[in-house]
Amino acid sequence: MPENEIRVCEWCSTDIPATAVKCPNCKGWRKDIHNERIICYGLSILGGLALGFGVALGAWSRAGSVFSFDVFLSRIDGWLVIALLVGSTVYYVRVSKKIGTWLWI
């Protein structure tokens, strides 16, 4: 897009440059970036909670150890934690590419 083109902010309805990812007026992210950030945070929180509760409740423990990677990989809830954390990483990479930086969290 040429630099002189403008678009309307989805949050505050002010004119902003077409290439802007964040509104200079209301400081809101573009809606597509905002939604993907919410998904990334949600998957990260769910994955972290599932991992924390699993370890705290001893779901992946073996006699003499608090956590066993073999038990973790042999259970469906262990793979669910992996899927949630991989999903959050995928959304993190997608948003980072749209924003142009890896330091947005």
Q: Phi/psi of residue 59, each to 5°? A: -65, -30
The per-residue pLDDT for range 78-99, each reduced to its tens digit, is: 999 999 999 999 999 999 999 9
The answer to whether residue 46 sits within a structural domain is yes
Q: How far apart are CA 90 and CA 86, in angstroms?
A: 6
Contacts of 20 (CB under 8 A, 6+ apart): 30
Q: How far apart are CA 9 and CA 26, in angstroms?
A: 9
The answer to whether residue 85 sits within a structural domain is yes
The per-residue pLDDT for range 18-75, each reduced to its tens digit, is: 989 999 999 999 999 999 999 999 999 999 999 999 999 989 998 888 889 999 999 9
The answer to whether residue 89 sits within a structural domain is yes
Number of structural domains, the chain?
A: 1
Query: Judging by beta carbons within 10 Å of its beta carbon (0-12, 13-18, 19+), is residue 59 exposed, middle or buried?
Result: middle
Does pTM surpass 0.85?
no
Tell me which residue range forms the domain holding 71: 30-99
